[in-house]
Structure 1
Amino acid sequence: MHEANSQLENLRQDLGDLRDQVEEGLRSLASQSSTALRALEHLRSERDDSQRERDMLRESLKDKEKVEQGLREKLAREASASTQAHENLGQAKVATLEKQLKDKVAENAALQEEIERLEAIAERAEVDAARQASLAAMRGSADSNADLVHLRSQ
C-alpha cells in the first residue's frame, strides 16, 4: 500500500505539475490571444482609416475632376470669346479703315469740286478783267479822242 500511496502521490504531483503547465499554457494563450486581439483591433482601425482615406481621395478626385472640367469649359468659352473678339476687332479695324477711306474719297471729291468751282470763278474773273481792261482801253481811247477833239477845238 505504501507503494500505491507513493504512486498516488506521484500521480498527484504529476497532475499538479500538469495543472500548473496547463494553467501556464492557458495564461500564455490568454496573453497571446489578448495580444492578437489588440493587433487585430489595430489592423481593423488601420483598415477603417485606410478606407476613410480612400473615400476622401475618391471625393477629392471627383472634386478635382469637376474643377478640371469647369476650367476646361471656361477655357473653351474664353478661347471662343477671344477668337470672336479678335475677329470683331479685325472687322472693326477694316470697317474703320473703310470708313476713313470713304471719308478721304468724299473729302477729295469735295476738294476737287471746290477746285473746279474756284477755277471757274478765276476764269470768269480773268474774262471779266480782260473785258474791263478792254472797256477801259476803249474808254481811254475815246477819252483821248475826245480830249484831242477838245484840244483842237480850242
Structure 2
Amino acid sequence: RQVVLSGTAAAIEGAERAFAAEDIATRRLRTSHAFHSPLMAPAADALAAFLDELPLREARLDVWGNTDAALLPSPPDEVRRVLARHLTSPVRFREQIDAMHTAGVRTFVEVGAGHTLTGLVEQILEDRPHTAVALERPGVHGVTGLHS
C-alpha cells in the first residue's frame, strides 16, 4: 500500500512529478539523509569501520534483518557486513513480516518512538493470527508501555 523512495532531492522531485501525472498521491517524508540508498555509502563505510572494532559474538536469539527479509547470519563478521550494508540497501519490510509469520512468529513489539511499524504489521498480516504492540504510543512513555 505504500512505497518509500530514497534519493537526491532532484530525483525525488522527478518521481513526484511522474506520480502526479499518473494521479498517484505522494507524501514527502522529512528525513535528514537519503537512508537505504547508495547515497549513504560514506556513512556505511564509517559504520563498517566502527563495527569492525566492536567485539561481537553469535546471537542467542533469532534476529531478523529487513534488507534481506531473513534471519541475520550467525558469524559476527557476517553480521557486521549485513549491518553496514543496511544503510545503503532497500528495506523489505513487508517481505520480512511475511517471512517471520511463516516461520512462526506471532508477537511483534515495536520498540522506539511512535507506532508506525505496528500499524504496518497490522496492514501486512491483516486477519492472520498475530499480536502487534507499540511500547511508545501517544501519551504513553515507552517504559510505561513496556509495563502495561
TM tier, smaller: under 0.3
Larger Rg: 1
More strand by share: 2
TM-score by length of 2: 0.14
TM-score by length of 1: 0.13
